[in-house]
């Protein structure tokens, strides 16, 4: 298997504040890796560096390219809030990334329509974001990321702002879509349950400054669904193990 994401000795500082310290991590192609840690531990920071939104103080974070020689972006990004442009329709929001990689308009709309259908948004092509529920907005955010057919999906707590039920439904939707072509995913969350449900591997980060504390393999067979996973005895063990790792860090983060 080829390496999709390579992070070597990454250090990120905001002024005197060290957000990430000497973090190294390798993600293989087709792997679903979840970054788990307390709030403020630098999970989002790591994604920002990978997306070229931040320059690190030391080390490097690389996304490898495979299919094409590299026109445009090879990653899709799903934000914490759906982050849709409120003045554009669902269709225009989804084609946003396609235009940047040089896809002609008609072709972009055809592709966007495909993902609109895939994410059960059919009929809402012309709707403005404020007319959609939170769950639907985040599905548009996901469609926007998938539409550019990226090598890697960077997902920053994409379901964190949703209610519990919508969250479960979207997690299953993500699993369903992911099973189609098993894109490489780097997914940030602070939900242990979500981490176990989705991940091949869970990377636990410490409280600030973020350092890799442990990497846990999630040996639960795929395809998974929320109910199967929760019923499995292995699920409870993994949850307990992860909680043991995260607990101290969460307490530390609270007391900062």
Q: Given the rule CB under 8 A, which residues bind other proteins?
A: 51-53, 72-73, 77, 79, 81, 83, 85-88, 96-97, 100-101, 128-130, 144, 148
Cα separation, 17 vs 21, in Å, equals 10
Least separation, in Å, of the C-beta of 158 and other proteins? 13
Which lies closer to other proteins via its Cβ, residue 33 or residue 90?
Answer: 90
Q: How far is the CB of 87 from other proteins (least distance, A)?
A: 4
Give the residue with the Cβ less far from other proteins, 96 or 169.
96
> Of the two residues 32 and 77, which places its CB atom closer to other proteins in the complex?
77
- Residue 216 C-beta: closest distance to other proteins, Å: 29
In the complex with other proteins, which residue's Cβ is closer, 57 or 83?
A: 83
Task: Provide the minimum distance between the beta carbon of 83 and other proteins in the complex, in angstroms, as a whole number.
Answer: 5
CB of 41 to other proteins, least distance (A): 20
- Kindly tell me which of 130 and 180 has the beta carbon lying closer to other proteins: 130
Cα 213–chain centre separation: 20
């Amino acid at each position: 298997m080829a390496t999709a994401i390579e992070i070597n000795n990454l250090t990120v500082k905001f002024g005197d504040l060290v957000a990430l310290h000497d973090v190294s991590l390798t993600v293989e192609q087709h792997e679903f890796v979840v970054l788990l840690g307390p709030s403020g531990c630098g999970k989002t920071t790591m994604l920002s560096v990978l997306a070229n939104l931040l320059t690190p103080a030391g080390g490097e974070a690389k996304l490898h390219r495979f299919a094409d020689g590299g026109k445009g972006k090879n990653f899709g990004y799903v934000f914490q809030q759906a982050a849709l442009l409120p003045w554009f329709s669902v269709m225009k929001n989804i084609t946003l990334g396609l235009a940047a990689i040089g896809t002609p308009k008609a072709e972009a709309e055809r592709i966007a329509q495909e993902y609109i259908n895939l994410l059960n948004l059919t009929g809402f092509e012309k709707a403005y974001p404020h007319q959609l529920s939170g769950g639907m907005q985040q599905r548009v955010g996901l469609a926007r990321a998938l539409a550019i057919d990226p090598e890697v999906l960077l997902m920053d707590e994409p379901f964190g702002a949703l209610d519990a039920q919508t969250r479960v439904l979207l997690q299953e939707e993500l699993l369903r879509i992911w099973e189609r072509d098993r894109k490489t995913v780097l997914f940030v969350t602070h939900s242990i349950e979500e981490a176990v449900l989705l991940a091949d591997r869970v990377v636990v980060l410490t409280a600030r400054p973020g350092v890799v504390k442990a990497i846990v393999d999630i040996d639960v067979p795929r395809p998974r669904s929320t109910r199967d996973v929760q019923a499995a005895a292995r699920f409870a063990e993994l949850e307990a193990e992860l909680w043991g790792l995260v607990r101290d860090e969460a307490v530390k983060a609270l007391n900062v």
